[in-house]
Amino acid sequence: MTGRVLRIGTRASRLALAQVDLVAAFLRAADPGLRIEVVEITTAGDRDQSTPLREGTGWFTSAIQEALLDGRADVAVHSYKDLPTARPAGLVIGAVPVREDVRDAVVTRDGRGLAGLAVGAVIGTSSPRREAQLRALRPDLQFRLIRGNVETRIGRVDGGDYDATVLALAGLRRLGIEHRAGQILGPDEMLPAPAQGAIAVECREADATTVAALAAIDVPRLRAETGAERAFMAALEAGCSFPAAALATVGADGTLELRGLVELDGKLVSGRLTGAAGDGAGLGERLAARLLGRGG
């Protein structure tokens, strides 16, 4: 691909552009002669700042995928957790090149964590997953919808609209504002969203040159881990939609451990399975079936 211009489709937010910079650096390291152009695209999630994200899918990804399909972009860089598990015909995930810390972070005005919040404090979140797990930690908290990019959400906490919000630590780090994390919630306190912290690079399946270029920056371990987590989520979405979380890790011996959690009838149901890294999809499906069975 040396000398070729590669057009990268992305949202225009600071976080999205920071993620493009990461991917561009990987691509240039693999092919120093590659020229990159950034194609900024406005998504439905950027235009609509009031509708709860749980009401629909593809808020931040569908418009970018359309740009891939109609040829305005050659690749798309996504926060992998934002991609619906249903795959559009003609598009493939060409690479999962990097994954930041998967944990969630509590952001408050004064830098305190959950324990420092008053009884009845108001948490701004658009995530059913986060709300369900926070309720288990602090049943007294109140929850209100919050929308907007990372900086907007933090600004609304600082402005007094909310007492706290919970954001992906990965986003805070990529924006250079990790110091705003008043508390970092480990997986035992809050299991992350499937593929949280990971970047997915998507392209047209028929574009063999780009598929080959992306293969050079793919990390098989990350693909196995995120693949298992997303298979778990896909199996849950087969029937209905509800708060769910998953985290997979591949050990040095090639064994993959998958942890999963769902909220069913107001009760958190969790479990884990282990298996071969190459069977991540099957592991995700089996764990989803097990938890759904336990939840009735």
Summarize pLDDT for 265-278 with one digit per residue, the tens.
889 999 999 999 99
> Is residue 193 within 8 Å of 13, Cβ to Cβ?
no
The per-residue pLDDT for 224 is: 97
- CATH number of residue 275's parent domain: 3.30.160.40
DSSP helix/strand/coil, 192: coil
The answer to whether residue 82 is catalytic is: yes
When the pLDDT of each residue in the chain is averaged and rounded to a whole number, the result is 91
Give the residue-averaged pLDDT of 215-222: 97
The parent domain of residue 280 ranges over 219-296
> Is residue 172 within 8 Å of 180, Cβ to Cβ?
yes
pLDDT in tens, 151-167: 999 999 999 999 999 99
The answer to whether residue 42 sits within a structural domain is yes
> Is residue 10 within 8 Å of 41, Cβ to Cβ?
yes
Set 21, 31, 82, 161: catalytic member: 82
Q: How many domains does the chain have?
A: 3
The per-residue pLDDT for 85 is: 87
The answer to whether residue 133 sits within a structural domain is yes
Residues sharing a CB contact under 8 Å with residue 9, sequence separation 6 or more, in sequence order: 39, 41, 64, 67, 68, 72, 73, 75, 76, 77
pLDDT band at 239 (very low <50, low <70, confident <90, very high): very low
Tally the C-alpha atoms within 13 A of residue 95's C-alpha that lie toward its C-beta.
21
DSSP helix/strand/coil, 268: strand
pLDDT band at 4 (very low <50, low <70, confident <90, very high): confident
pLDDT in tens, 126-148: 999 999 999 999 999 999 999 88
Q: Which two tokens stand for residue 59?
A: 């808020």
Q: Are residues 7 and 91 in the same domain?
A: yes
Characterize 109-133 residue by residue with b for buried, 16 or more Cβ atoms within 10 angstroms of its Cβ, and e for exposed: eeeebbeebeeebbbbbbbbbbbbb
What pTM was estimated for this model as a whole?
A: 0.91
Given a cut of 50, whether residue 238 has pLDDT beyond it is no
- CATH number of residue 213's parent domain: 3.40.190.10
pLDDT in tens, 81-92: 989 888 899 999
For the ranges 2-6, 54-58, 160-164, the maximum mean pLDDT occurs at 160-164
